[in-house]
Amino acid sequence: MEYDVNNLNKKSIMKFAIPSALGVFIFLFPLPWNGSVNIPIGILSEWLAALIAPVAPTLITVFILISAIMTAITSLLKPKAILDNKLLSKLFTSSPFYLFFKIIGAVVVLMVYFNVGPEYVISGDTGGTMLSLLKTLVAWFFAASFLIPLLMDFGIMDYTGTLVRNFTQPLFKLPGRSAIDLLASWVGNCNVGVVLTTTQYEQGYYTAREAITIATCFSAVSLPFCLVIAALLKVDHLFIPFYAILTITGILSVVIMTRIPPLSKYPNEYYAPVGKQVNEVEPQGITKSQWALKLAVERAAAAPDVKGVLNKGIDMFLGIVFQLTPLVMSFGTIACILATYTPIFQWLSVPFGYYLQMLGVEEAFAAAPATIVGFVDMFLPAVLAANIVSLKTRFIIGILSLVQIIYMTEVGTLMITSKMPVDFKGVLALFLEKTIIALPIIVLLTNIFGIA
């Protein structure tokens, strides 16, 4: 087969290059902002969150109520007008399991919004936290829904995928196109990273195993949040080694986890309704860079126009607010109630107390609950560990909480409600395995860096 890269005209290359460069800048480029560092999508999302703050609780409550009511009507009455409409059917068709939790989410959000009901449901540690969290999430998802196509549809993932597959495949057992996804997931917002990953799976660009690997191992929290956690634990003066150890631990844990169960047991198969839609291996007679450019330009040529991007953005955003927000409200509130008002995490953390003790961590049993409560929310470990005397132990717990990244208030729920073949037990198993693997790496690197 012969291929002449010169056959590509300047206009077709620009259609790939300009939107892709803009997407890389928006999702990956760090900028100084308000005395810290942030990426443009983060700055835009924070501005949107502040803009809608006065009406956000009302909007979220309305979204959740509409979702619960319409899903109940669809499930019980099966109206033809909804079932025959592609968008409405997608938004309001649900299994009995998710219908139940959507109704729970609606009840909880009403109680929080009107400040009525038991304190353990509406307090600032449980339902109140979730409503506040959703205000931020909605702003992030609104911005990302309309901007993610710059990364997905204009060729940058195809271009980088072909060039770096010899690095990502042997190291992480992931296709080359995941490189942009990995970076976007690592430096940006973890929820946006999961949405990007699940969308790529549903479009036939990742296998189930690849998508679950990226979602559970690379959807890290944003750099500004890492600073917040470090400051809360009073280790922010050590932020450079803090973030360095976080990054090294994240990479090493992925290398290990991709080669053992449960990740290695997930099907290495593409989403059945669409099948495989990617080919990163260049044919004979074509250089890797030529093949990368060809794939990128072809992807950009098939990209939607402005109207198409807006329609896709609306579809994605509506799917998130009507399908995800009630589940985040219900799952997150239940998890926060268990963490705040029951001793269950203290009981469950006893084995980790012995594990920390074996690793030589000071105040091991005082720190133990913080090692597993991150399954509820990534902020809780820092709250529990804030009063630990040992700086080194606080340092270790802070890094662990940011490496775990599989928590039910956001990432876990996103994964479970996606089309990826992973359920609650699978998410829990991955969280525990990552915790067990990451802890000794963190302790070892902390010793090497001389943190005391």
pLDDT in tens, the chain (452 residues): 444 555 677 888 999 999 999 988 988 787 888 777 778 888 898 899 999 999 999 999 999 999 999 999 999 999 999 999 988 998 999 889 889 999 999 999 999 999 999 999 999 889 998 898 888 888 888 888 898 888 888 988 888 878 887 888 888 888 887 777 777 666 666 677 788 889 889 999 899 999 999 888 876 666 667 777 888 798 988 888 998 899 899 889 999 999 999 999 999 999 999 999 877 777 777 888 888 888 889 889 988 889 998 998 899 899 888 988 898 899 888 888 988 899 998 999 999 999 999 999 999 999 999 999 989 878 788 878 888 999 999 999 999 999 988 888 778 888 988 899 999 999 999 999 999 999 999 999 999 999 98
| pLDDT score for 2 | 45
Q: Which residues contact 141 (CB under 8 A, 6 or more apart)?
A: 191, 192, 195, 316, 317, 320, 321
| pLDDT score for 283 | 76
Query: Residue 116 sits in which domain range?
Result: 10-449
| 350 falls within a domain | yes
Name the residue among 335, 338, 341 with its Cα closest to residue 409: 335
Q: How far apart are CA 105 and CA 99, in angstroms?
A: 10
| 2 falls within a domain | no
| pLDDT score for 222 | 63
Q: What one-character DSSP code corresponds to residue 320?
A: I
Torsion angle of the four alpha carbons 387, 393, 395, 396, in this order, in degrees rounded to the nearest 10: -130
What pLDDT digit, counting tens, does each position of 229-257 carry?
Answer: 888 798 988 888 998 899 899 889 999 99
| pLDDT score for 221 | 62
| pLDDT score for 108 | 97
With beta carbons less than 8 A apart as the criterion, state whether 28 and 41 touch: no
Q: How far apart are CA 14 and CA 300, in angstroms?
A: 9
| 235 falls within a domain | yes
| 1 falls within a domain | no
| 45 falls within a domain | yes
With beta carbons less than 8 A apart as the criterion, state whether 195 and 225 touch: no
> Total domain count for the chain?
1
pTM over 0.75, yes/no? yes
3-class DSSP state for residue 292? helix
| pLDDT score for 220 | 61
**Burial status of residue 365 (CB atoms within 10 A of its CB: 0-12, 13-18, 19 or more):** middle
| 86 falls within a domain | yes
Helix, strand, coil fractions of the chain, as percent rounded to 5: 75, 0, 25
3-class DSSP state for residue 65? helix
What pLDDT digit, counting tens, does each position of 155-172 carry?
Answer: 888 888 788 878 888 888
| 3 falls within a domain | no
| 327 falls within a domain | yes
